[in-house]
Amino acid sequence: MENFISVEDVSDLKNLLVRAKAIKANPFENLALGKNKTMVLLFFNPSLRTRLSTQKAGLNLGMNVIPMNLAEGWGLEFEDGTVMNLDKAEHVKEAATVISQYADIIGIRTFAGLKDRRLDYADQVIKQFVKYATVPIVNLESAVLHPLQSFTDLFTIESFKKKERPKVVLTWAPHPKSLPQAVANSFLEWMQKTDYEMVVTHPQGYELSTEFTSGSTIEYDQQKAFANADFIYAKNWSSYEKYGKILSTNSNWMVTEEKMSLTNDAYFMHCLPVRRNVVVADAVMEDKKSLVIEQAGNRAVTAQVVLEKLLFDEVV
Ligand code: CP
């Protein structure tokens, strides 16, 4: 694997899942592999899980890990041919190449701006780093995709599913802030690689790009969608069509115990962070069928698989 930007970078998904199971059972088996290797993690946006789990994954492989916040005070230019006489201090051409002198792998978190769909969906920041860095790039959530989260979600479903072809429902849920589509897009992209029965439910106007919903059933009635589901995955996203807009904050879309009772005793999933009693009721979060903590724990496992594959494919 050269980079980890989307599921398309993965040549053997089954093997990735096998490695995740092995690493979960024995996270320190390859502690010597990362000796004298360094990972730099660049955060243009905040993170709790991605930052700590990727750092832990690197440490479990014996790597040195250097996280850096770029949200404030370090403006990078990404356009070609710009006259850089405004606020941008450095071009990505130099920054990516220089960081490659210090790092064997670079992780990047860069959220969507949610103002200009064309710009966001070009995923310019991550693509420019791929172009100019001379070491592998890991997507720690870009404007469009969050593959480390989605790999984790797939691994978690595979670990808990009770039938070969579970019914998995991605449900939109309300949120007071305008959020990117990246988690939902990426989840669907990874689900497209399975033969699960995939249903997406959301209010009218929250349709995701058909690139990601292809192969899924769209059901505008949330209660119908929940019927006989084996996994409920809740997530808010802002409108793709009316780009970045909040079209509804209807609390009727919150995931509740009553709605979970329509399912086939489904597991509840969310990538976190989550707004309790807005996205999901306390009772669902704290129910024994809630997998949210398991998912968060698995983030370190799947990040370790990805780092192994990027750096040591010939060994593992
Ligand atoms: N799920 C996730 O990516 O969490 P963070 O934003 O805390 O990294």
Query: How do the domains of the chain map onto residue ranges?
Result: 7-146+298-315, 149-295
pLDDT in tens, 183-222: 999 999 999 999 999 999 999 999 999 999 999 999 999 9
d(CA 271, CA 150): 9
- Cβ of 153 less than 6 Å from ligand 1: no
Cis peptide before 180 (omega within 30 of 0): no
State which ligand 1 atom lies nearest to the alpha carbon of 272: 1
pLDDT in tens, 281-295: 999 999 999 999 999
- Cβ of 47 less than 6 Å from ligand 1: yes
| pLDDT confidence of residue 75 | 87
| pLDDT confidence of residue 41 | 98
Joined tokens for residue 223: 């209660």
CATH fold for the domain made of 7-146+298-315: Rossmann fold (3.40.50)
Fold agreement (7-146+298-315, 149-295): yes
| pLDDT confidence of residue 312 | 80
Q: In 3-state terms, what secondary structure has residue 59?
A: helix
d(CA 230, CA 167): 5
| pLDDT confidence of residue 72 | 76
State which ligand 1 atom lies nearest to the alpha carbon of 148: 3
**Ligand 1 mean position to 73 CA, how many Å?**
22
State which ligand 1 atom lies nearest to the alpha carbon of 48: 7
Residue 314 has pLDDT above 80, yes or no: no
Residue 316 has pLDDT above 60, yes or no: no
Joined tokens for residue 250: 């209807």
Q: In 3-state terms, what secondary structure has residue 295?
A: helix
Check: CB of residue 201 under 8 Å from CB of residue 219: yes
Nearest to 143 by CA among 157, 167, 123, 169: 123
- Cβ of 49 less than 6 Å from ligand 1: yes
**Ligand 1 mean position to 314 CA, how many Å?**
30
Which residue type sits at 163?
Answer: K
**Ligand 1 mean position to 83 CA, how many Å?**
35
- Cβ of 218 less than 6 Å from ligand 1: no
Residue 315 has pLDDT above 80, yes or no: no
Tell me the CATH number for domain 149-295.
3.40.50.1370
d(CA 192, CA 200): 13
| pLDDT confidence of residue 313 | 76
Residue showing tokens 């890990």: 65
**Ligand 1 mean position to 52 CA, how many Å?**
9
Residue 257 has pLDDT above 70, yes or no: yes
DSSP string, 175-209: -SS---SHHHHHHHHHHTTS--EEEEE--TT-PPP
Check: CB of residue 75 under 8 Å from CB of residue 88: yes
pTM, rounded to two decimals: 0.97
| pLDDT confidence of residue 73 | 67
